[in-house]
Structure 1
Amino acid sequence: MFTALENYIKSRSKVSGEELEQIVSLFKHRNTKRNEVLCDFGQTCKHFYFIKKGCLRLYEIDHKGNEITGYFALEECLISANTSFMLQKPSRDCLVSLEPSELLVIGRKDFYHLVETVPAFASVYHQFVEFAFIHSQMRIYSFLGMEGIDKLKWVMEHEPKLLNRISSKAVASYLGMTNSTLSKLRAKL
């Protein structure tokens, strides 16, 4: 059940068998239904998730009522409502399971205990934070001033699985455009 998580950790850090056992023992298995909310707007996020199977989406709603997707996470990824999880403040985001998913979940207290006591886990966490920052910066700077067609090409190059797995409405919200605009652009390619 925890093989995917073990492989994920081993591929990112030097970890002893004892440390790996300690890490895995603090994760719990959880199945979700399609569109199940894991952290809602205004809730304080208390969990971190490893996706064994499925897809999670992190999004917010702007002042006009439009959904703005910040991130999609597929198999063998870590995800949380990061800002809320780290700062323990009410979330501006909603974290939802887009499809029935198998997750491995760890609570905040156990998560930070591992970060503080198991160097291999701290390394995995730091890599996650670095990736999240770089991904965020790349999207911000790449999308500023980009035409819609170029945004679509960027996703096709950097995150091609999204176009096959995720609804076009959700992908459009990730790209900062309407669903009809995305459909027109896809037809051009």
Structure 2
Amino acid sequence: MEKAKIQLRRYLKENTALNQDDIEKLAALFKFRKVKRNEILEKEGQICTHFYFVSNGCLRLYEIDKKGNEITGKFALENSIISAITSFITQKKSLDYLIAHEPSEIFVISRKDFYNAFESFPELAKFYYSFIEFAFIHSQMRVYIFLGMEGIDRLKWVMEHEPDLLNRISSKSVASYLGMTNSTLSKLRAKLLETV
């Protein structure tokens, strides 16, 4: 757990302008958890009241469409943060599931503690707004790029912008992130290998 705490402190140091004393105080608000593969952290139909930092492993945010297909919106690997952000902000029932895609070590902060910390640590608010801006931009890029791209180009985009996903994540989950079937993804990967 100590190694995980060091990662959280380092992440806060690298991504905020907080001094070391404030980093220690803020880090103390996060609770450490070990989660098993496929453990559900947030569930469709419930209100999200937590924010997560991944120190080891991978979390996956997805929803299930009317046909029962999983549509992956985001993966969070080591040294990244995630939440069912729409529900977290609006405090309305979530459409998403947030699960541990791999056995993971995470830190969790409650929504109440997170927002209360803005008063004590104004730099945290700046960090949060930057996170929201990045999440919006990334989401818009994925929507616009993916809507106008052929499957092979979507795969190339992920290879260029998020290569760790292809090495770490199951092809079924990557396919749901790319908006295609697993068999289509396998064919496209094979086609790309032929051209190399």
Q: Scaled by the length of structure 2, what TM-score is found? A: 0.94
* Runs of at least 4 residues off by over 4 Å: none
Residue in structure 2 matched with residue 123 of structure 1 by the alignment:
126
The amino acid that maps onto 1:158 is H
For 2:48 and 2:119, locate their aligned partners in 1 and report how far apart those are by CA, in whole Å. Answer: 20
User: Are residue 144 (structure 1) and residue 119 (structure 2) matched?
Assistant: no
Name the structure 1 match of 2:113.
Answer: 110
Whether the 8 Å contact between 1:9 and 1:124 is mirrored in structure 2 is no
Whole-angstrom CA distance in 2 between matches of 1:84 and 1:71:
15
Q: Distance in 2 between matches of 1:98 and 1:35?
A: 6
* Amino acid in the other structure paired with 2:95: R
Which amino acid is the alignment partner of residue 104 of structure 2? S
| Partner residue, 2:45 | 42
Aligned match of 2:33? 30
Secondary structure in 2 matching 1:41: coil
Contact 1:12–1:123, Cα closer than 8 Å, also in 2: no
Q: Distance in 2 between matches of 1:78 and 1:140?
A: 21
Deviations 1:87-143 (A, max 9, x none): 111110000001100001101100001123312211221121111111101101111
> Secondary structure of the equivalent of 2:119?
helix
Amino acid in the other structure paired with 1:45 = C
Partners of 1:156 and 1:171 lie apart in 2 by 11
Task: Mark the runs of 5 or more structure 2 residues left unpaired by the alignment.
Answer: none
Within-5 A mapping of 1:29-178? 29-178=32-181
Shift of 1:13: 2.0
CA distance in structure 1 between the aligned counterparts of 2:48 and 2:175, rounded to whole angstroms = 26
Alignment of 1:177-188 (within 5 A): 177-188=180-191
Q: CA RMSD in A?
A: 0.9
> Aligned partners of 2:77 and 2:180: how far apart in 1?
22
Distance in 1 (CA, whole Å) between partners of 2:157 and 2:186 is 16
Sequence identity (%): 65
- 1:5 is matched with 8
Q: CA deviation at 1:6?
A: 1.1
Match for 2:39: what amino acid?
A: E
* Structure 1 gaps, min length 5: none
- Match of 2:60, SS? strand
The amino acid that maps onto 1:76 is N
Amino acid at match of 1:46: T
TM-score normalised by length of structure 1: 0.97
Superimposed CA distance per residue, residues 66-105 of structure 1 (whole angstroms, 9 cap, x where no aligned partner):
1100000100000000011111111100000011000011
Q: Distance in 2 between matches of 1:115 and 1:94?
A: 27
- How many residues are aligned here? 189
